[in-house]
Amino acid sequence: MHVKNLLSLKNKVILITGGAGLYGSSMLEALAEADGKVITASRSLENAKTIVDEMKSRGLDVHAKYVDQADHASIIRLKDEIQAEFGGLDIFINNAVARPMRKYTDPLEAFAESMRVNATGMFDITREMADLIAKRGGGTIINIASMQGMFGADFKLYEGTEMDSPPDYHFHKGGMIALTKYLARKLAPQKIRVNCISPGGLFSNQPEPFLSRYKNKVPLGRMAGTDDIKGLIVFLASDASSYINGENILMDGGLHA
Ligand SMILES: NC(=O)c1ccc[n+]([C@@H]2O[C@H](COP(=O)([O-])OP(=O)(O)OC[C@H]3O[C@@H](n4cnc5c(N)ncnc54)[C@H](O)[C@@H]3O)[C@@H](O)[C@H]2O)c1
């Protein structure tokens, strides 16, 4: 097959959670630019609608839905809506994240709330969407983890700022990478490939001195930009990666090379 056809997402129905976020909106745009029919679902429906309306005005086939991935009934409602309106699902991008814990010293309740959304809820929505994909005869799931799920934080980067790298985040992102490998084997008989992307930090006007310190550590000399994940997400979603299964791709500009 021609490589342009391998990379095309034409006739594919794609769900991305949290598609109004920073990395999420880049991936939403990329998947639609590759000709996919892309639904974003998140807890902030108004933000999702604003982004979707802007992309629709550029001719992209994008749709906004509500989901709270910590609420099983809400996941089932979304699943039913996708089946009824789009006839099923081919590709699921597990991107939403909640950040109730900000610091190591935050109360345990914040850690538990993080697990409710980012561990239990994340597994719940993945299992339900995998079921939709299986009914359609197969497809692919891509988990968006983080380099923080693979490596410990360099706390010196945050000195003199309000920033920190909270422990719940390392815990559930590490779990997501392990779950990727589990699901790659579990779902392969249903013709579902499962892969993971572990991005590095995305530039979003972080304060100095964090920014200079971080850039100095990265061999490419910069934080990730919004275009950096676009090719990778389309590649993993498409048939161009049809023999890649259970892989975790680190995208950090060489920070951990
Ligand atoms: N921004 C970075 O530097 C960075 C670096 C590495 C990895 N990541 C990962 O990339 C992904 C996207 O990150 P981002 O910074 O763009 O995220 P973000 O914080 O900008 O957006 C997160 C999205 O998740 C949604 N969300 C939160 N709780 C939800 C719930 N209970 N149900 C449904 N939706 C919910 C929010 O509405 C929002 O749209 C995340 O998985 C994140 O961990 C981000």
* Cα angle 227-228-231, degrees, rounded to a multiple of 5: 85
If you measure from the C-alpha of residue 214 to the centroid of ligand 1, how many angstroms do you get, rounded to a whole number?
Answer: 21
pLDDT band at 213 (very low <50, low <70, confident <90, very high): very high
Q: Residue 131 has what pLDDT? A: 98
> If you take atom 39 of ligand 1, which residue's CA is the nearest one?
18
- Domains of the chain, each with CATH number or no CATH: 3-248 (3.40.50.720)
pTM reported for the whole predicted model:
0.98
Query: What's the whole-number mean pLDDT along residues 70-76?
Result: 98
Q: Is 149 in the pocket of ligand 1 (CB under 6 A)?
A: no
Q: Residue 30 has what pLDDT? A: 98
Residue 257 CA to residue 255 CA, distance in Å, equals 6
Residue 60 CA to residue 57 CA, distance in Å, equals 7
pLDDT band at 22 (very low <50, low <70, confident <90, very high): very high
pLDDT band at 220 (very low <50, low <70, confident <90, very high): very high
Query: What's the whole-number mean pLDDT along residues 224-237?
Result: 98
- Integer-rounded Cα Rg, in Å, for the chain is 18
* Cα angle 175-181-129, degrees, rounded to a multiple of 5: 80
Residue type (1 letter), 155: F
Alpha helices in 106-218 (DSSP H): 108-115, 122-135, 167-186, 210-217
If you measure from the C-alpha of residue 11 to the centroid of ligand 1, how many angstroms do you get, rounded to a whole number?
Answer: 26
Q: Residue 229 has what pLDDT? A: 98
Residue count of the chain, please give it: 257
Instruction: Quick: pLDDT tens for 4-21.
Output: 999 999 999 999 999 999
Instruction: Quick: pLDDT tens for 143-196.
Output: 999 999 999 999 999 999 999 999 999 999 999 999 999 999 999 999 999 999
Reading phi first (left if > 0) and then psi (alpha if -120 to 50, else beta), residue 178 is in alpha
